[in-house]
């Protein structure tokens, strides 16, 4: 029987020493890595300064040319006014954070804002034409109401351009005062389409250009 003094001594194995597959591995000293602040304070400050820098954009710079912005970022009705505003910003050398900021600034220009407010009414759809093209109020407004050269008749047409094609909307005088205008033929590029001018189109023509003076 073993006495207390003869008891098996405790293991002298370093419990902090890593093992692999039951085999004791040699201890590897661990070194405390210095913080970035302690190691490279100058470099860290440079990085922090770079993070505070915001890229600036000028009108006329890369991706912000006057013609490009005027044509691609604004409604076609605003092209000339937007171009003028952009030219002024370019001449002034104004800085912007990005292209969106340039567009927003142009839309705040008084002349541009006034014109932009009129666009929704111009884009109102009046009718769908035989080829699927949409006739809008802007086409009615831009058209010319003129009398047709038909001896003994008092017919008129609204001549206009829709998506680059010449259209004429014929209308005939009412049978008597107070009655409705009689629809005529829709002409496209000088030829008949086989379709009549719609009631909506007639209403828009009269509302925009007034009743023909000889009716």
Tokens linked to 43: 């470099």
Mean pLDDT of 162-174: 96
Q: Are residues 99 and 170 in the same domain?
A: no
Q: What is the pLDDT of residue 59?
A: 87
Residue 2 pLDDT > 70: no
Of the candidate ranges 45-49, 68-72, 118-122, 166-170, the one whose mean pLDDT is the lowest: 45-49
The answer to the question of residue 145 being in a domain is yes
With cut-offs at 50, 70 and 90, classify the pLDDT of residue 57.
Answer: confident
Q: What is the pLDDT of residue 176?
A: 86
The answer to the question of residue 97 being in a domain is yes
With cut-offs at 50, 70 and 90, classify the pLDDT of residue 177.
Answer: confident
Query: Considering its fold, how many domains does the chain have in total?
Result: 2
Mean pLDDT of 51-77: 80
DSSP for the chain reads ---GGGSPPPP---TTS-EETTEEPPP----PPPPHHHH-HHHHHHHHHHHH----EETTSTT--HHHHHHHSS-GGGHHHHHHHHHHHHHHT-EESSHHHHHHHHHTSHHHHHHHHHHHHHT-EEEE-TTSPEEEHHHHHHSEEEE---TT---EEEEEEETTEEEEEEEE--SSTTSPPEEEEEEETTEEEEEEPPHHHHHHHHHHH-S-TT-
Q: Are residues 188 and 137 in the same domain?
A: yes
The answer to the question of residue 19 being in a domain is no
Q: Are residues 97 and 159 in the same domain?
A: no
Round to whole Å and give the CA distance between 58 and 80. Answer: 20
Q: Are residues 62 and 114 in the same domain?
A: yes
Q: What is the pLDDT of residue 1?
A: 47
* 98 contacts: CB under 8 Å, gap ≥ 6: 55, 57
Q: What is the pLDDT of residue 159?
A: 98
More confident residue, 178 or 45: 178
The answer to the question of residue 32 being in a domain is no
Domain end position, chosen among 66, 90, 120: 120
Q: Are residues 94 and 134 in the same domain?
A: no
Number of other residues whose CB lies within 10 A of the CB of residue 69:
22
Q: Are residues 130 and 202 in the same domain?
A: yes
Q: Are residues 149 and 183 in the same domain?
A: yes
Q: What is the pLDDT of residue 103?
A: 94
More confident residue, 158 or 213: 158
Q: Are residues 80 and 61 in the same domain?
A: yes
Segments forming the whole domain that contains residue 65: 57-120
Q: What is the pLDDT of residue 214?
A: 87
Q: What is the mean pLDDT of the chain?
A: 83
Cα-Cα-Cα-Cα dihedral sign, residues 122, 125, 128, 131 = positive
Q: What is the pLDDT of residue 140?
A: 98
The answer to the question of residue 185 being in a domain is yes
Please return the burial class of 132, using the count of CB atoms within 10 Å of its CB with bins 0-12, 13-18 and 19+: exposed
Q: Are residues 90 and 140 in the same domain?
A: no
The answer to the question of residue 160 being in a domain is yes
Mean pLDDT of 187-196: 95
Mean pLDDT of 66-93: 94
Domain end position, chosen among 81, 96, 120: 120
Among the listed residues 137, 140, 135, the one whose alpha carbon sits nearest the alpha carbon of residue 163? 135
Q: What is the pLDDT of residue 18?
A: 54
Q: Are residues 61 and 79 in the same domain?
A: yes
The answer to the question of residue 90 being in a domain is yes
Q: Are residues 130 and 108 in the same domain?
A: no
The answer to the question of residue 138 being in a domain is yes
Q: Which residue has the tokens 């250009």?
A: 209
More confident residue, 1 or 207: 207
Residue 36 pLDDT > 50: no
Q: Are residues 112 and 132 in the same domain?
A: no
Mean pLDDT of 187-212: 96
In the chain, the N- to C-terminal Cα span, in Å, equals 138
Domain end position, chosen among 82, 104, 120: 120
- How far does Cα 73 stand from its chain's mean position? 6
Round to whole Å and give the CA distance between 197 and 65. Answer: 44
Mean pLDDT of 110-118: 96
With cut-offs at 50, 70 and 90, classify the pLDDT of residue 178.
Answer: confident
């Amino acid at each position: 029987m073993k006495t207390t003094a003869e008891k098996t001594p405790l293991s002298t194995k370093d419990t902090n020493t890593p093992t692999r597959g039951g085999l004791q591995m040699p201890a590897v000293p661990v070194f405390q890595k210095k913080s970035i602040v302690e190691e490279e304070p100058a470099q860290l400050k440079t990085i922090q300064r770079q993070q505070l820098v915001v890229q600036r954009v000028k009108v006329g710079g890369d991706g912000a040319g006057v013609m490009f912005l005027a044509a691609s970022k604004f409604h076609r009705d605003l092209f000339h006014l937007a171009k003028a505003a952009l030219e002024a910003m370019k001449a002034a050398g104004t800085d912007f954070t990005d292209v969106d900021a340039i567009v927003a600034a142009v839309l705040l220009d008084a002349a541009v804002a006034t014109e932009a407010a009129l666009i929704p009414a111009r884009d109102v759809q009046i009718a769908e034409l035989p080829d699927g093209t949409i006739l809008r109020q802007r086409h009615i407004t831009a058209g010319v109401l003129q009398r047709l050269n038909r001896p003994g008749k008092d017919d008129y047409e609204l001549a206009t351009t829709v998506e680059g094609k010449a259209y004429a909307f014929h209308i005939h005088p009412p049978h008597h005062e107070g009655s409705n205008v009689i629809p005529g033929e829709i002409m496209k590029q000088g030829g008949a389409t086989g379709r009549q001018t719609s009631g909506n189109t007639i209403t828009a023509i009269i509302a925009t250009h007034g009743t023909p003076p000889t009716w």
